[in-house]
Structure 1
Amino acid sequence: MIFSKTRLIFILICALAYEISASQTLSPKNKGTKKKSAEKTDKKPSKERLGPQKYSVFDKNFVSQEVTAKDIVNNHRAFFTETDEYNFDGLVLGYVTPWNNHGYDIGKIFGNKFTHISPVWLQVRRKGPKKYEVTGTHDIDKQWVVDVRNAGRERKTKIVPRVLFDGWTGKDYTELFNNPKERLSLSKTLIESCKKHKFDGFVIEVWSQIAGAVNPDSLVELIRDISDLFTVEGLDFILVVPPKRNADLFTSKQFDALYDYVTAFSLMTYDFADPTRPGPNAPINWIEDTISAISLNETRRKKILMGLNFYGNDYTANGGGPIVGHEYIKILEQFPELSFTYVDKVAEHLFEYKDKDGINHLVFYPTLYSILQRLELAHKLKVGVSIWEIGQGLDYFYDLL
């Protein structure tokens, strides 16, 4: 059987499903009762809607467990015209990549929905003893930064580019961990770059790269030394941290040790599955377990940014891989009669299709309903959210934020 492995997983997942709860605790600030009644009969428009609309996805009752390919195709590019309004009161970080131009548009349109936006532009490299360089600055779009900051009336979105430790050797890390002067030089280089380009801080990604290979206490010391200088300069410092997996690379001990030193922790609660073990992108129970494992103290969780994937995965018996919004829509356009299944246990929708070559596919991609379940979980756990990445999702997703 061509699809036996994936099909088996599909059956196992569906076997876990149980009756869905209809309760919703996170509601939009602008509910518009009269608008709802006016739009109930218009859930399935005959042609695609584009751009700003008088009604939100809540008003049009699109945030439902029941979804169809036709509804998604016809409405995914429409969004509520009041883009200044936001529904989620915690920290909201959105990542933007230079290889996905639509993300830049999303940042300008919905900037007020985000407290922070992190363009994936920069790398830091070690050039020699106590010599460091921030690269990738050619990708910086100064006008875009201004536009995003001015996108909303109620709050000014902070621009905090991600900085990746790139091209480092084991010797480079050893020197950094063992020599305080190296850490000071690195910190000054990062801050000088931040101030030169008038950023509000940085998102630092190093922990997930080397956590399994070094003493975690050394990593804690490194982050503390860098963040101390960021604090002095009034800059935000957001640390990317890995989720709970087979080996816990970031624990409650490290969270407590760093809590007072960072603005927030960007928790990578996505990519639970992969082509070698097809399944849901980020089961909601796994997300909750991961957050609870980091901190049981609700008052301290406000600094945890629960990772949300705005991309999906298309699996086959031979592997498959990630898909982004326009690829997902293309599938739905080709197979308008396909049937969605909502798996309550993991709070995700999935569907199957057979391509023109007769190959079976299993697809997991976020829907309005699955995203809302995660936003409600964030509300319940008193955490913020981080989205990878805003150019990969559908435009009407942002009505939820």
Structure 2
Amino acid sequence: MRFKLLLFLAFVFYSCATLRPPFEYEPKIIIAWVVKSDTTSYLSLQKNSSLISIASPTWLSIDSVGNLIADVDSNLLNFARQNDIPLMPLVVNHRFSVGVAEALLSEPKTRERVADSILKFVLDGNYIGINLDFEGPFVNVRDGYTKFVELVSAKLHNYGKVVSIDVVAKTQEKFEGWAGVYDYAELGEVVDYFIIMGYDYSGRLDPPGPVAPKWWVEKTIKFAISQGIPTRKIILGIPFYGRWWKEGTQGRGIYHPELQNVITKYGVKRHWDRKAKTPYLKFKDENGVENVIYFEDEESLTHKIELVHKYRLAGIAIWRLDGEPDSFWRLIEQKLRPKELKN
């Protein structure tokens, strides 16, 4: 009986060690977000699965009364199981609503109930863990969010599961806006993956500009490190998208299939922003309206990958899979030599 108990404890210890990586490794972790509503996102996963360490499908949200709403894609799930791809589903506060976040995070009992629901979902589906992506300017419950992440981490770690968190990038401490809700130091201590969303420097309401300028991305990494987060935990979120501004309108996201159509239609040439280390297009359309598109290519991504190596980060997270060129994946294979994880 004693031998069986020791054998069981050894198995639990081994499982926890393998499911929760020690982060001291080369090559790097490659996390890829797969969007449920986008067919091209799933096709990209199928095409590039051998280079993806963990897939994070956007299946889950939580409503204002704490219900976990799951919209699991059975085709993706079956493909992942058949190809041994670890899944770490993403969960959001429904529509990034401030009201939802405040309702969920204000009361300890609600936080406990939601954390239990997440744990049950992960265990029932035998997922590698969960990706927490709560967003919005819910600064009034900043402390509640920290406590919630601590609670989720404690519960999932008891079963050897991984907890990752997506945080809006910031270069200094702030207690307002979308970035103000994240206590980097406290959150970085309890999670396994600390994913800095190194994009949206120029958002849809901003004037035309780079989505992820290298100088700014580097400052966000330095700030995270200054908060005591071990670099072996930090994952750099990189964009596989650009942003398109038409004169007099807000910016909107643009992915590579549409970008290539624009280049072909207007015959525009690529410009290079030397400070941002980012390419852009500038042209007038058939109506004489000025258009500006900032996007990513192999050169700009190379600059960001250099930061992963410079600061010895754990890897990258890609927002998002969506018809990106094969050259992006050749670059990832050459520069990062993706780490393969097994359930």
Identity of aligned residues (%): 20
Q: Name the larger-Rg structure.
A: 1
Deviation at 1:301, TM superposition (A): 1.3
SS in 2 for 1:185: helix
SS in 2 for 1:273: coil
Q: Is the 8 A contact 1:91 1:385 kept in 2?
A: yes
Q: Report the Cα distance in structure 2 between the residues aligned to 1:98 and 1:230, rounded to whole angstroms.
A: 24
What is the TM-score normalised by the length of structure 1? 0.68
Instruction: State the one-letter code of the partner of 1:141.
Output: D
Aligned positions of 1:179-218 closer than 5 A = 179=108, 181-206=109-134, 208-214=135-141, 216-218=142-144
Deviation at 1:254, TM superposition (A): 3.1
| 2:53 alignment partner in structure 1 | 115
Aligned positions of 1:145-164 closer than 5 A = 145-148=77-80, 150-151=82-83, 156-164=84-92
- Of stretches 163-172 and 307-316 in structure 1, the one that deviates more from structure 2 is 163-172
Q: Report the Cα distance in structure 1 between the residues aligned to 2:289 and 2:98, rounded to whole angstroms.
A: 42
Q: Report the Cα distance in structure 2 between the residues aligned to 1:133 and 1:288, rounded to whole angstroms.
A: 38
Aligned positions of 1:326-341 closer than 5 A = 326-336=257-267, 338-341=268-271
Instruction: State the one-letter code of the partner of 2:76.
Output: W
Deviations 1:162-210 (A, max 9, x none): 111227775973674442x33222211111122223322111122x324
| 2:324 alignment partner in structure 1 | 393
Deviation at 1:146, TM superposition (A): 3.8
Q: Report the Cα distance in structure 2 between the residues aligned to 1:289 and 1:172, rounded to whole angstroms.
A: 28
Instruction: State the one-letter code of the partner of 1:120.
Output: T
Query: Does 1:136 pair with 2:70?
Result: yes
| 1:225 alignment partner in structure 2 | 151
What CA RMSD, in Å, does the superposition of the two structures yield over aligned residues? 2.6
SS in 2 for 1:256: helix
Unaligned runs of 5+ in 1: 1-87
| 1:55 alignment partner in structure 2 | none
Q: Report the Cα distance in structure 1 between the residues aligned to 2:277 and 2:103, rounded to whole angstroms.
A: 43
Moved over 4 A (4+): 167-172
Deviation at 1:126, TM superposition (A): 4.5
What is the TM-score normalised by the length of structure 2? 0.79
Residues 1:146 and 1:290: Cα distance change in structure 2 (over 3 Å):
same
Q: Report the Cα distance in structure 1 between the residues aligned to 2:36 and 2:104, rounded to whole angstroms.
A: 32
Deviation at 1:233, TM superposition (A): 1.7
Q: Report the Cα distance in structure 2 between the residues aligned to 1:203 and 1:172, rounded to whole angstroms.
A: 16
Unaligned runs of 5+ in 2: 1-25, 333-343
Deviation at 1:299, TM superposition (A): 8.2
SS in 2 for 1:189: helix
Deviations 1:24-43 (A, max 9, x none): xxxxxxxxxxxxxxxxxxxx
Residues 1:278 and 1:194: Cα distance change in structure 2 (over 3 Å):
same
| 1:347 alignment partner in structure 2 | 277
Q: Is the 8 A contact 1:187 1:226 kept in 2?
A: yes
SS in 2 for 1:300: coil
Instruction: State the one-letter code of the partner of 1:398.
Output: W
| 2:21 alignment partner in structure 1 | none
> Which residue of 184, 190, 206 corresponds with 1:261?
190
| 1:94 alignment partner in structure 2 | 32
Q: Is the 8 A contact 1:311 1:392 kept in 2?
A: no
| 1:313 alignment partner in structure 2 | 243
Residues 1:169 and 1:314: Cα distance change in structure 2 (over 3 Å):
closer
